[in-house]
Amino acid sequence: MPREITAYSNPLVKRVRNLRDKRHRKDEGLFLAEGLRILAEAEETGVLPLWLFFAADGAGHPIARRLIAKVEAAGGEAIETTRDILHKLSGKDNPQTVIGVYAQPETGLERIDRSAAPIWLVAQSLRDPGNLGTMLRTGDAVGAGGLILIDDCVDPFSVEAVRASMGAMFTQRIAQARWPDFLAWLRAGPGLLVATHLEASVDYRVPDYGKPTFLLIGNEAQGLPADYAAAADVRVKIPMRGKADSLNAAVACAVMAYEVLGRIDGVRPPASRETA
């Protein structure tokens, strides 16, 4: 039977509330995800929350009922609470009716099985949690295996990143590594490293892409460091026809990822000429 918590001062409420802070997330090895849709997606991939908070008036939903039963069967705890406390936990004015507290997966490179997918996304010094979550969502959409975060990226377990991922947080592998360690790991097996680089001379629609392709996207403001780009097997640029010199990082990642997907699928050949 779910227990009920209605007091702001409850220690578990305080503890979970603190997970909106990166240091607490790291110390606890936990993170938050919100909403029936995302929690159901996690469940489908076999991931259940350790704690499941739900609003009394949302408990009747069939997905909520199933989640509550599964969490309790797995030894987790389902907790009935108020909308006010859900608001406090999520920080949103209109909180979802369920919030789950999940264990952070390990993010070592050694957990990545590169043969499991034809595309892997790699982001360097990414700053914006929305971009990070959006890249996970795009990765899921193109059948990528996961997102490898290089150097000092924003926390992939932040509430904003999890929200923007729309559940892809649970379907995509996440790894974190310093650049030299990533490069050593990459070169120890098959894989084509493709860098998007503003100074590249090759249109992104022209090269052949192999399996697996690792798509490397640089920091939002600076782009990739020149030596990182130089270490890639291929450097490509996306045509820019206007005044601006770059795309949003998550947008550039998606345009590249769909190009590689079309090529890997054999839906279309490389472009015969460049225009960029």
Q: Are 203 and 236 contacting, i.e. CB atoms less than 8 angstroms apart? A: yes
Please identify, using beta-carbon distances, which residue of 190 and 239 lies nearer to a copy of itself: 239
Please identify, using beta-carbon distances, which residue of 10 and 248 lies nearer to a copy of itself: 248
Q: Report the amino acid identity of residue 150.
A: I
Interatomic CA distance for residues 83 and 95, integer angstroms: 7
What six digits make up the tokens of 115? 């043969």
Minimum distance from residue 232 beta carbon to a copy of itself (Å): 21
Beta-carbon neighbour count of residue 64 at 10 Å? 20
Closest CA to 102 of 66, 134, 71, 79: 71
Minimum distance from residue 166 beta carbon to a copy of itself (Å): 6
What six digits make up the tokens of 185? 């790991």
Minimum distance from residue 103 beta carbon to a copy of itself (Å): 20
Terminal Cα distance for the chain, rounded: 62
Minimum distance from residue 90 beta carbon to a copy of itself (Å): 17
Please identify, using beta-carbon distances, which residue of 16 and 135 lies nearer to a copy of itself: 135
Please identify, using beta-carbon distances, which residue of 231 and 238 lies nearer to a copy of itself: 238
Minimum distance from residue 135 beta carbon to a copy of itself (Å): 9
Please identify, using beta-carbon distances, which residue of 39 and 78 lies nearer to a copy of itself: 39
Give, for 27, the enclosing helix (H) or strand (E). helix 22-28
Minimum distance from residue 216 beta carbon to a copy of itself (Å): 18
Please identify, using beta-carbon distances, which residue of 10 and 246 lies nearer to a copy of itself: 246
Buried b (16+ CB within 10 A) or exposed e, 89-116: bbeeeebbbbbbbbeebebebeebebee
What six digits make up the tokens of 249? 């990082």
Please identify, using beta-carbon distances, which residue of 19 and 252 lies nearer to a copy of itself: 252
Interface with a copy of itself (CB under 8 A): 41, 44-45, 130, 134, 137-143, 164, 166-168, 171, 203, 205, 238-244, 246-248, 250-251, 254-255, 258, 261-262, 265, 267-268, 271-275
Place of tokens 């959409």: 141
Minimum distance from residue 1 beta carbon to a copy of itself (Å): 31
Q: Where do runs of H (alpha helix) occur along 53-209?
A: 62-73, 83-90, 129-142, 159-165, 179-187
